[in-house]
Amino acid sequence: MLNYFNPNNILFIINRLRKFVFATFIIVLLIGLFEALILSPEDYKQSDSVRIMYVHVPSAWISLGIFSLISILSFGILIFKNKNFSLIAKSLAPSGLLFNIIALATGSIWGRPTWGTWWAWDARITSMLLLAIFYLMYILSWRVTDNNEKAIKVSSIIAIIGLINVPIIKFSVDWWSTLHQPASVNLLKETTIHSSMLVPLAIMTAAFALFSLLIFLMKYNTELIKIKNKGLDRL
């Protein structure tokens, strides 16, 4: 089964997928922006400031999702000693960090008109900031050492420790009294957001996920070529 993660097979798929993903991302993003900025209604309480949700929420979801995936892959790296898992995890990290930064920045911008402040040390915001620090530590762990084996181990341990923070982010609004409202979109319970807002939110989430996929494909390709370059040096 692990043969499916062979770099050759993945590289073959990457080069065919990349252009398709880029084109699809642009189309979905344009539809999403039109829905989010023009078609979707304003909120009865927050008025038009609610539109920030269409970039803030998908960014937060995707940064959390990517970090969870990196952590799961890190378990795989330590258990199966599969180096390709580490390449995949490493290639996922840049878009995860970008979405984390976007979630923090747009949350701060949204907080100003809604809560009257740019920043508050509430549980959700603080745990998201902690996630950004884990992302930074993860990315830096690849850069601070030339020893690849050591970098793989250190980065995996950082990702696994950081996984503890993921449920804290998710349930922080339920466990503590925070400025954030409880989740409006639920997979298991009833979703409390109206379809006129849910549709643009879903489209923007799809666009952001496609962007993550595109960045992943490009970064993974780069990492594979780096390996081949080292291989050519050894010939």
Phi then psi for residue 117, to 5 deg, are: -145, 150
Q: Do 207 and 32 contact (CB within 8 A), yes or no?
A: yes
Which one among 49, 82, 126, 178 touches other proteins, defined by CB under 8 A? 49
Structural tokens at position 201: 């939110």
String of contacts with other proteins for each residue 66-105, x by CB under 8 A? ----------------------------xx--x--xx--x
x-or-dash string of contact with other proteins, 191-220, rule CB under 8 A: --------------------x--xx--xx-
Encoding tokens for residue 211?
């962007």
Does the protein bind other proteins through residue 229 (CB under 8 A)?
Answer: yes
The DSSP code for 87 is: H
Q: Is 132 in the site for other proteins (CB under 8 A)?
A: no
Residue 153: closest CA among 57, 100, 83, 99? 83
The answer to whether the Cα torsion of 184, 189, 192, 197 is positive or negative is positive
Q: Which residues bind other proteins (CB under 8 A)?
A: 7-8, 11-12, 15, 33, 36-38, 42, 47-49, 51-52, 55-56, 59, 94-95, 98, 101-102, 105-106, 109-110, 112-113, 211, 214-215, 218-219, 221-222, 224-229, 231-233, 235
